[in-house]
């Protein structure tokens, strides 16, 4: 045994130390599950459906999920909103809706999406306005806000819009974008819900 220790002891010690470091790093990564800050969210001002101004910074202190959409979209937008409504119901179960978490939907088709049309869309989708704000403005204003978030929008000759499918932004209480999600069929509600609760948990500490 002694010759073995003398011969291989140093190598064994180094191997054990390296293994210990690997295990430590693994547990540190899994324990440190903080979402990275991607960038500061643009501060913008648009109109609520009642005509009052809404400034993004007014909602600081809450975790926000921001959706860019238009109500006449035939597929990806209504599916995204439908999934968000399911998230809304999950957040209500833990009394996080409205007080800790707010959803914002910005239309980049304000010509068709008048306040009346937008309201009807929200009612039809069963949005709960105690924690969900619908925002509009001029076509130039909403296009500028979308662009400031990195959302590419192109109006087509038939009046429909082509837009980036990653148009769903998770913003923390300090106004930092912490995650960007795909919309529609690619949405993972469990991932989004987990990320929201992670941010609300860190905010409440």
- What is the predicted pLDDT for the residue at 96? 96
pTM value? 0.80
- What is the predicted pLDDT for the residue at 154? 76
Alpha helices (H) along the chain? 2-31, 76-93, 115-125, 139-148, 189-204
- What is the predicted pLDDT for the residue at 17? 47
Nearest Cα neighbor of 148 from 76, 40, 65 is 40
Mean pLDDT by 10 residues, the chain (205 residues): 49 42 36 79 96 95 96 91 97 95 95 96 97 96 93 77 81 97 93 96 65
CA 81-149-185 angle, 5° bins? 30
């Amino acid at each position: 045994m002694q010759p073995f220790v003398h011969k291989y002891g140093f190598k064994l010690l180094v191997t054990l130390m390296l293994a210990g470091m690997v295990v430590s790093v693994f547990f540190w990564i899994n324990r440190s599950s903080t979402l990275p800050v991607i960038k500061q969210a643009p501060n913008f001002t648009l109109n609520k459906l009642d005509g009052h101004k809404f400034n993004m910074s007014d909602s600081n202190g809450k975790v926000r999920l921001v959706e860019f959409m238009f109500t006449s979209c035939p597929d990806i937008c209504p599916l995204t909103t439908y999934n968000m409504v399911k998230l809304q119901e999950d957040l209500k179960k833990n009394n996080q809706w409205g007080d800790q978490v707010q959803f914002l939907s910005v239309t980049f088709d304000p010509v068709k999406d008048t306040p009346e049309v937008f309201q009807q869309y929200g009612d039809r989708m069963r949005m709960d306005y105690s924690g969900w704000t619908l925002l509009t403005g001029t076509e130039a204003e909403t296009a500028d806000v979308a662009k400031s978030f990195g959302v590419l929008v192109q109006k087509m000759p038939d009046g429909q819009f082509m837009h980036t499918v990653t148009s769903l932004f998770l913003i923390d209480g300090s106004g930092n974008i912490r995650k960007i999600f795909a919309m529609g069929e690619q949405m993972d509600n469990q991932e989004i819900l987990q990320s929201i609760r992670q941010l609300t948990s860190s905010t409440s500490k």
